[in-house]
């Protein structure tokens, strides 16, 4: 199992100048991300949520090399994002919902050509990926239209394609469905689900739309006021007749605890493996008495955080 993202004590502070009377300014330090520990393995799909101002975008910007962390350790694909920014950029794809990376005045297809040169990707590789995106995201209708004339839904599909043309290992999406109508949202979700299911692209997405998470992410990470408040991996509780004699050695599975003299085991699944796969492996080596899956209680966690912030 390969670690794609790793942060320890990641921290970002901003100095804000507040007007305090005539010509005087008071400076105040705002901590946007406050000691974040997060690891993501290859192939995971992580939903990263939190209220406005919780530090989601700031985290994403530190992971992509846009912002320089105030403190802490961060590695993405083995690179230090800011110092090795250009090398990292070849390995990751980024979609900022609010900022376009397409050329406003050019037809969409020319933006793709330019990006191919920017990333120095072989024409054949790029063409194959583009063909796939054209089919799945139905781009053909507006490939020759200047980007400024695209609808939001069309533009977001174009942005996704643009972020994938160089075949990134990790895809960072900052609110990819924001402002989209239902049909476009579903098109984007279906596309991301297919991409994630293929298993070789790690996806981290921030969103305010819980339907995105439910549909896409096996792992939910919640941040509030710069701190990690929930890192929900799915848990599987297994009751056995006899304690397990062999080591499962399954990637993506860790033993959280063993109870009842080893006859009850709580596993956590990191998202690269389904509960079904674990169960079928278990039945090969032991007699199962009972199994139950503990889902991360998305709504509960989220509602608790959001209500605390409403006046």
Minimal distance, residue 127 CB to another protein, in Å: 19
* Cα torsion 232, 233, 239, 245: sign: negative
What CA–CA distance (Å, rounded) separates 265 from 276? 16
- Shortest spacing between CB 265 and another protein, in angstroms: 41
Looking at the Cβ atoms of 64 and 202, the one nearer to another protein is 64
Query: Phi/psi of residue 62, each to 5°?
Result: -75, -35
Rank residues 14 and 260 by Cβ distance to another protein and give the closer one: 14
For residues 84 and 277, which CB has a smaller minimum distance to another protein in the complex?
84
How far apart CA 190 and CA 196 sit, in angstroms, is 10
For another protein, which is the closer residue by CB, 14 or 308?
Answer: 14
Of 67 and 273, nearer to another protein (C-beta) is 67
Closest to another protein by CB, 34 or 175 = 175
The pair of structure tokens assigned to 58 is 């700031």
- Residues 138-174: b if buried by 16+ CB within 10 A, e if exposed: ebeebbeebbeebeebbbbbbbbbbbbbbbbbbbbbb
> Please, what is the minimum distance in Å from the beta carbon of residue 101 to another protein?
5
What is the nearest approach in angstroms of another protein to the Cβ of residue 268? 30
Positions touching another protein (CB under 8 A) are 14, 52, 56-57, 61, 64-68, 82, 85-87, 89-90, 92, 94, 96-101, 103-106, 110, 114, 118-120, 174-175
Shortest reach from residue 68's CB to another protein, in Å: 4
Nearer CB in complex with another protein: 56/219: 56
The CB-of-99 to another protein minimum distance in angstroms stands at: 5
Contact in structure between 236 and 290 (CB atoms under 8 Å) = no
* Least distance CB 30 / another protein (angstroms): 11
């Amino acid at each position: 199992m390969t670690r794609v993202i790793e942060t320890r004590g990641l921290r970002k502070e901003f100095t804000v100048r507040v007007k305090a009377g005539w010509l005087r300014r008071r400076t105040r330090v705002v901590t946007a991300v406050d000691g974040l520990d997060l690891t993501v393995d290859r192939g995971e799909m992580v939903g990263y949520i939190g209220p406005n101002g919780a530090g989601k975008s700031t985290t994403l910007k530190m992971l992509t090399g846009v912002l320089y962390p105030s403190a802490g350790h961060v590695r993405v694909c083995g690179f230090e994002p800011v110092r090795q920014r250009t090398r990292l950029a070849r390995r990751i794809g980024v979609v900022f919902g609010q900022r376009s990376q397409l050329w406003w005045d050019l037809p969409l297809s020319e933006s793709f050509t330019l990006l191919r040169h920017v990333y120095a990707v072989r024409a054949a590789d790029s063409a194959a990926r583009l063909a796939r995106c054209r089919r799945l995201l139905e781009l053909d209708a507006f490939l020759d239209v200047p980007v400024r004339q695209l609808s939001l839904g069309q533009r977001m599909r174009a942005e996704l394609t643009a972020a994938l043309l160089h075949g990134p290992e990790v895809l960072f999406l900052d609110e990819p469905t924001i402002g989209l109508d239902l049909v476009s949202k579903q098109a984007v979700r279906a596309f991301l689900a297919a991409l994630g299911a293929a298993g070789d692209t790690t996806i981290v997405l921030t969103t305010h739309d819980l339907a995105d998470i439910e549909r896409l992410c096996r792992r939910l990470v919640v941040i509030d006021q710069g701190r990690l408040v929930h890192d929900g991996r799915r848990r599987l509780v297994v009751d056995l007749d006899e304690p397990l004699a062999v080591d499962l050695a399954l990637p993506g599975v860790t033993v959280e605890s063993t109870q009842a003299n080893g006859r009850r085991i709580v596993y956590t699944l990191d998202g690269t493996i389904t509960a079904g796969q674990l169960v079928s492996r278990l039945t090969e080596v032991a007699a199962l008495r009972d199994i139950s899956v503990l889902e991360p209680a998305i709504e509960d966690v989220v509602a608790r955080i959001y209500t605390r912030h409403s006046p």
